[in-house]
Amino acid sequence: MRLKRLTFKGGVHPPERKELSEEQAIEALPLPSYVVIPLQQHLGAPAEPIVAVGDMVRTGDKICEAKGFVSVPSHASISGKVKAIEKRPHPVAGEALAIVIESDGKDEMSPNIGPVANYLALDVEEMKKKIQQAGLAGMGGAAFPTHVKLSPPANKPIDTFILNGAECEPYLTADHRLMLEHPNEILEGVRIIMKILGCKNGYIAIEKNKPDAIAVFQKLVNEAGDNLRVVALNVKYPQGAEKQLIKAITNRKVPAGGLPMDVGCLVHNVGTAKAVYEAVALNKPLYERVVTVSGRGIRQPKNLRVRIGTPFQNLIDFCGGLSDDTVKIINGGPMMGIAQYTLEVPVTKGTSGILALTSSETRIAEPQPCIRCGRCVEVCPMNLLPNTLARLVEYKRFDEARELGVLDCIECGSCAFVCPSKIRHVHHIKFGKLEVTKMMKAKAA
């Protein structure tokens, strides 16, 4: 009975293209000669540098400090010398202040990293402090500080935790490989999260196109006798979006403008769960992550374990370089990712994939007038009117766009994907969200 509703209304079925890299076991990328660690790798206030040019640092040393509660520190991802603190290309922000470290080739580790005895017995506040100090921010792409998500207000108790193993973006297979190769660490992360939240219901949600990962977790959960349920989700984009996942599994609807905590739920991605385990059980800061490098423009697609701050160029070179017909490089997946103008940009905590796409995989075309076919409305998982919203923003009618729910758009790109007129809804809507937010702040001031 429950299986029938393990999906949501709307959504699309883009070509999955996961076969390019899903069989590729995670490989460690050789250490880069330098890394570029942006101060802004998370939602919230950028961190502040606590090192100076010329300082020597070890892998895992804190190099910038959180500024306020909704912020996290960052750490050196290689050992060596701080060469510069300056503006550098950034995969999301265009350009941002960053700490540049030149490798000494030793990869000398911070002595603070090491196993923590009996970590499951730690006090909840101590666990959260370790997670904050390790610089954790959501690794599924949104990069929201993890300790903030784990600190809901007292009037919003969480009774349901969902581990997000959907990985619904085409091409990306980093989470799939993590689930196959590190399931025990991920499960320990889930146990820690559930202890912090004090919640009883836990779900491990995986799309049905990853039957091997579903089998691995089902076996481990059965053996451990945990109070966890493994659920197989229908394959549909954006099944991994928080609100869609919650609806599919619990049938609870996050209200417009609300958060998962409003319906007693919390969702974390599998990479974040593993990082939670490493922060609490090993005192290991978030200085590396797994990145899928794929697309037909990549000669040998791979899943790579990479130090944060490594330039995209290093990953692409390690994968055999770009084919001549590459027309677009993307940070993230093809639906929600951001096109890049230089390969100097570094891997950040939120970089789940780097895609090199050829002309056969992209739709570069000039937008045409809307033919009112209604397809964008049919597929919108948030029940919005993408065509109307895009037009209102274009004509700067931000008040009306707000009334029609522009802020509820999850920027999934489903509308643009189906649009026969190639209208760039998300481009307009993102701009509309920025303007409406500014307008609301100005009114509140």
Establish whether the linkage from the previous residue to 238 is cis, with ω within 30° of 0. yes
CA–CA gap between residue 355 and residue 438 (Å, rounded): 33
Q: Which C-beta is closer to ligand SF4: that of 320 or that of 374?
A: 374
Task: Kindly state whether residue 198 participates in binding ligand SF4, applying the rule CB under 6 A.
Answer: no
Nearer to ligand SF4, 311 or 413 (CB): 413
415: contact with ligand SF4 by CB under 6 A: yes
- Span from 50-58, 123-131, 172-180, 366-374 in contact with ligand SF4 (CB under 6 A): 366-374
What are the phi and psi torsion angles at 427 (to 5°)? -55, -50
Residue of 124, 282, 410, 439 that binds ligand SF4 (CB under 6 A): 410
Shortest Å distance, C-beta 410 to ligand SF4 = 5
**Comparison of 73 and 413: residue with beta carbon closer to ligand SF4:** 413
412 binds ligand SF4 (CB under 6 A): yes
Residues 6 or more apart whose CB falls under 8 angstroms from that of 259 comprise none
CA–CA distance from 159 to each of 202, 267, 385, 441 (Å)? 9, 12, 33, 32
Site for ligand SF4 contains 414 (CB under 6 A)? yes
Please report how close the Cβ of residue 367 comes to ligand SF4 at its closest, in angstroms: 9
- Least separation in angstroms between CB 248 and ligand SF4: 16
* Residue 137 binding ligand SF4, by CB under 6 A: no
Q: Which of 246, 386, 398, 402 touches ligand SF4 (CB under 6 A)? A: 386
Span from 110-118, 133-141, 316-324, 379-387 in contact with ligand SF4 (CB under 6 A): 379-387
Rule CB under 6 A: is residue 371 a binding residue for ligand SF4? yes
- Orientation angle between helical segments 183-197 and 211-224, nearest 10 degrees: 60
Q: Which residues of this protein are in contact with ligand SF4, per CB under 6 A?
A: 370-376, 380-382, 384, 386-387, 409-415, 418-421, 423, 425-426, 429
